[in-house]
Amino acid sequence: MSTKNIMIVGVGGQGTLLASKLLGKMLLAAGYDVKVSEVHGMSQRGGSVVTYVRYGEKVYSPIIDKGEADVILSFELLEAARWMEYLKKDGTIITNTRQIDPMPVLAGTAEYPSELVSKMKDKGVKVDAFDCMALAEEAGSSKAVNLVLLGRISNHFDFSEEEWLKTIETSVPEKFIEINKKAFLLGRQY
């Protein structure tokens, strides 16, 4: 098979690394060659962050380039639009509809673009947009947005629900297992 590309984008501090960690673990267990590329340091302080997950028979580059992503999993709406040009033709954007204003918007020097979901769709892009925060809160923690999104993207893979839940159980601290499993299932079944 050719290499598949998944980008996980969001705002530093949103927990994007846990989603890529779980995804990487599942893919490795399934026997794929996997590369996951992360961003550490300065950008983590509330900046735009991206994690690349690539898998296939043999993966060379650790990063995904413009026009290559099969799926972009976005924790924040503006970030989905920012990284959209990385999507390949017929790719899908899965995005949280929640908006976090970046500093230029807070400082009043720029505006947060309106109607981004329909503007992305107008470009012929498949967009699966929903309020992950509401589902995360339903699961018991606003911080579980990452598992809601992971649940949503899980429908793009052939792994069984049991396999996903088992990976969650073995990857997160015990006291958060139930909340994370619930958030995952809410995202998967939404």
Q: What is the dihedral of CA 57, 61, 67, 69, to 10 degrees?
A: 50
CB closer to other proteins out of 59 and 165? 59
Q: Does 142 bind other proteins (CB under 8 A)?
A: yes
Using the contact rule CB under 8 A, the part of the chain among 113-121, 151-159, 162-170, 173-181 near other proteins is: 113-121
Per-residue interface string for the shown chain with other proteins, residues 63-102, x marking contact by CB under 8 A: x-xxxxx--------xx-xx-xxxxxx-x--------xxx
Buried b (16+ CB within 10 A) or exposed e, 47-60: ebbbbbbbbbeebe
Closest distance of CB 140 from other proteins, Å: 14
Helix axes 161-169, 16-29, angle to 10 degrees: 120
Closest distance of CB 38 from other proteins, Å: 5
Q: Does 46 bind other proteins (CB under 8 A)?
A: yes
- Pick the closest to residue 187 from 75, 108, 88 (CA basis): 75
- What whole-number distance in Å separates Cα of residue 152 and Cα of residue 146? 10
Pairing of strands 69-74, 33-37: unpaired
The tokens describing 100, both together, are 């976090």
Task: Say which amino acid occupies 168.
Answer: I
- Out of 6, 8, 19, 125, the residue judged to bind other proteins by CB under 8 A: 125
Closest distance of CB 122 from other proteins, Å: 8
Q: Does 37 bind other proteins (CB under 8 A)?
A: yes
Q: Does 124 bind other proteins (CB under 8 A)?
A: yes
Cβ(62)–Cβ(35) below 8 Å: yes
- Out of 30, 57, 61, 126, the residue judged to bind other proteins by CB under 8 A: 61
- Out of 1, 2, 111, 173, the residue judged to bind other proteins by CB under 8 A: 111
Q: Does 11 bind other proteins (CB under 8 A)?
A: yes
Q: What is the dihedral of CA 82, 187, 142, 22, to 10 degrees?
A: -80
Residues at the contact surface with other proteins, assessed by CB under 8 A: 11-13, 24-25, 28, 33-48, 59-63, 65-69, 78-79, 81-82, 84-89, 91, 100-113, 116, 119-120, 123-125, 142
